[in-house]
Chain A
Amino acid sequence: MRLIFFYLGKLFTIIKNEVLVLPSRVAVGLFFLFMLLLPLFTKDIYLLRIFTLTSIFAIFAASWDLLSGFTGQMNFGHALFFGVGAYGAALLNLHASIPPWASVPLGALCAVLAGLIIGIPCLRLRGTYLALTTLAFPIILTGLIFAFPSFTGGELGISGIVRLTQSRVGDYYTVAVLMLGLCTVMWKITDSNIGIIFHAIREDEVAVRASGVNTTRYKLLAFSLSGFFAGISGGLYAHFMRIAGPSTLDLFLSFSVVIYAIFGGVVTIYGPVGAVFVLFPLLEFLRVVQNYRTLMFAVVVLLILLYMPDGLFAWLRDKIEKECPRCKIRNIATRHTCRVCTAPLD
């Protein structure tokens, strides 16, 4: 009993000293709470469904940021991973009757394989060339799917897949917890030594080579990690919608993930996640003006990018927090002195 109190006290101190001092951390904490507690307040199936889909796409957007934001490998065909994950999970579930908890990770491993297959020829390409090449792969796969309709379901896709769980709330919790967990893992990766090397590759690959890093291996690692996370989101989508169709490889999906990431702020992980939580429900909400839906969506995106070129969440963070000029520790914007070194701010 005492031990429990001791750890609770410790947790409380950590929360007080590390989380409550910065508004951005408080915001992340509130977001976690909101996601976990939402079904307690509403049982509205439509709302839960939107938030489930939003969470799925949040994983997807964050995985793009890991590859294209951090490592700088511009991928305009990210839907490939999503589609391979979705089809992989669907086929495994339908033909081998593997339950969702195994078919989703196995589908993600198929996506890792796809990441390696496209990663190897793409290693020599940079910038626009890489973007155009990656753009081609989902289109090629769509062609293959149409070519073998007996196995892949052709234009209709694969239906009749097992549901993720037996209830909507169960679906929501599975996806939401996975989203929170996987995004934390991705953020942790970018914060680790691997993340430093990813970031360095984006800046200057020659200099990274000259420091003794096998950049080829790290670029492939970025492709497979990103493929894995995107594949998970694809598998979840297939099991949630109970269908894996060619729309999972759609060009629009590839581009919308780029829009999400840039809207929220690239090279942050939290930016793309937040952006999905703003834009995806917005697009749903705009169904009240069905005819102008995409137009208004475009206007919102353009306005944000015009006034906040670094992305919405990077801009917000900059407004509510100040960086200490001396020790580079972030402080809440209302403080006049740094919380660590007491140097005057601004």
Chain B
Amino acid sequence: MLLEVANLSVWYDKAMLINNLSMGVDTGELVSLVGPNGAGKSTLLRAITGLVAWERELTRRSTHGEVKLEGTVTFDGERIDQVPAHEIVKRGLILCPERRRPFREMTVIDNLMVGSYLSKDKDEAQNNLDKVYELFPVLKNRTKQISGTLSGGEQQMLAVGRALMSKPKLLCIDEPSTGLAPILRAEVFQKIGDISKLGITVLLVEQDVSTVFKMTSRNYVLSSGKIIAQGTGEQLLQDEVVRKTYLGL
């Protein structure tokens, strides 16, 4: 297993957002994580990528209550639950945060250069940049444009492109289709499929179950911080309880 999460629990004060959860992603897979609002999908990604631990540091001794994290996360054979977020990125586990987050006042190229912060080698950065441009030709045409003026779909592609600049082994994408028109959604999903074909393992969090299940090799259904079902898209769609209760199909 490339990524293995074992008995992970996350508390924000008294609320238990992730409840003794175990899951795993194998090299080369395209795995999705679906579930209703508030199921803990984003929290799980943030916990895996070390952002919850960072938040715990920030809110230590604050009046809002403590953030607690238990259990183990293993990536590429090493435990990473005690490792700071920016170190986790160095190992190739990269999060593309939700709600399309390019740096809105900066140009497209500057956005991508932040992503290539880790490659000290200029050739390597240029190489990554070429790859990203190959995947997203639209970004190449808009190198010097201020990213806040891009369309929603382009901003999402820029966010994914920025994550790709850090040379991920495992790319976690959080809700790429939020707030996009159906035609743009299809395009974004197709690009994610392309990324997966390049040999990059992808862990995708999504609400749009019908599209996602057609692309993925395995899926986890998350509810109230627990994994309540897993399997291929077909299996899950046939399961009446899962369909009605959790997927709303």
Q: Is the interface of A mostly helix, strand, loop or mixed?
A: helix
Q: Which residue of B lies closest to A207 (CB)?
A: B101
Q: Are B103 and A211 in contact (CB under 8 A)?
A: no
B89 near A: Cβ within 8 Å? yes
Within 8 A of B (CB), among A188-217: 193, 196-197, 199-200, 203-204, 206-215
Inter-subunit contact B85/A200 (CB<8 Å): no
CB distance from A295 to the nearest CB of B (A): 35
**In the assembled complex, B51 has its CB within 8 A of some CB on chain A:** yes
The answer to the question of A328 belonging to the interface, with a C-beta cut-off of 8 Å to chain B, is yes
Cα distance A211–B113 in the bound complex, in angstroms:
10
Q: A196-B110, A200-B106 are in contact. Are A211 and B54 (CB under 8 A)?
A: no
Q: What is the chain B residue whose CB lies nearest that of A196?
A: B110
Q: B225 interface residue, CB < 8 Å from A?
A: no
Which one of A203, A210, A211 contacts B51 once the chains associate, using CB atoms below 8 Å? Answer: A210
Instruction: With both chains docked as a complex, state the minimum distance between the C-beta of A323 and any C-beta of chain B, in angstroms.
Output: 9
| Cβ contact within 8 Å between B105 and A209 | no
Assess whether A199 is in contact with B97, with CB atoms less than 8 Å apart: no
Whether, in the assembled complex, A124 has its beta carbon less than 8 Å from a beta carbon of chain B, the answer is: yes
* Cβ–Cβ contact A196 & B106, under 8 A: yes
Residues of chain A contacted by B163 (CB below 8 angstroms): 210-211
Would you call A124 and B58 a contact (CB within 8 A)?
yes
Residues of A within 8 A of B162 (CB): 207, 211
Whether B86 and A214, one on each chain, are in contact in the complex, defined by CB atoms closer than 8 angstroms, is: yes
Residues B107 and A328 in contact, CB atoms below 8 Å apart: yes
Within 75-115 of B, Cβ neighbours of A (below 8 Å) are at: 84-86, 89-90, 94-97, 101-107, 110-111, 113-115
Query: What's the interface size class on A, roughly?
Result: 20 to 34
User: Quick one: which of A193, A209, A267, A328 contacts B145, CB cutoff 8 A?
Assistant: A328
- Closest-by-CB residue of A relative to B89 is A212
| Pairwise interchain contact B49-A210, C-beta atoms closer than 8 A | yes
Q: How far is the CA of A328 from the CA of B145 in the complex (A)?
A: 7
Contacts of A213 in B (CB 8 A): 86, 114, 117
- Nearest CB to that of A123 among chain B residues? B58
Answer yes or no: A300 CB below 8 A from chain B CBs. no
Interface centre among A214, A215, A327 (most CB of B within 10 A): A214
Query: B93 to chain A: closest CB distance in Å?
Result: 10
Q: Is B241 an interface residue (CB 8 A)?
A: no
Chain A: CB-nearest residue to B162: A211
| Range class of the B interface residue count | 35 or more
Q: A200-B103, A207-B103 are in contact. Are A212 and B117 (CB under 8 A)?
A: yes
Q: Please tell me if the beta carbons of B90 and A203 are within 8 angstroms of each other in the complex.
A: no
Which residues of B lie under 8 Å from residue A197 when comparing CB positions?
114, 117
Q: How far is the CA of A204 from the CA of B147 in the complex (A)?
A: 13
In contact, B105 and A203 (Cβ under 8 angstroms) = yes
B243 on the interface (CB 8 Å rule)? no
Q: Which residues of A contact B96 (CB under 8 A)?
A: 210
> B118 contacts A212, CB within 8 Å?
yes
- Shortest CB–CB separation between residue B241 and chain A, in angstroms? 35
Contact of A327 among B101, B103, B144 (CB under 8 A): B144
Q: Nearest B residue to A327 by beta-carbon distance?
A: B144
Q: Are A208 and B144 in contact (CB under 8 A)?
A: no
> A211 with B117: in contact, given A203-B103, A328-B145 (CB under 8 Å)?
yes
Partner of B106 from the list A199, A210, A327 (CB cut-off 8 Å) is A199
Q: Residue B201 at the A interface, CB < 8 A?
A: no
The residue on A at minimum CB distance from B101 is A207
Chain B residues with Cβ under 8 A from A206's Cβ?
51, 97, 101
| Docked-complex contact A208 and B114, CB < 8 angstroms | yes
B38-53 residues at the A interface, CB under 8 angstroms: 49, 51
For A215, list chain B residues within 8 Å (CB).
Answer: 86
Which residue numbers of A lie inside 8 Å of B, CB to CB? 124, 193, 196-197, 199-200, 203-204, 206-215, 267, 327-329
A199-B103, A207-B101, A210-B51 given; 4 more Cβ-contact pairs under 8 Å: A196-B113, A208-B114, A211-B115, A213-B114
A-B pairs with beta carbons under 8 Å apart, 16 shown? A197-B117, A199-B103, A199-B110, A200-B111, A203-B105, A206-B51, A206-B101, A207-B162, A209-B86, A210-B85, A212-B86, A212-B117, A212-B118, A213-B114, A213-B117, A214-B84
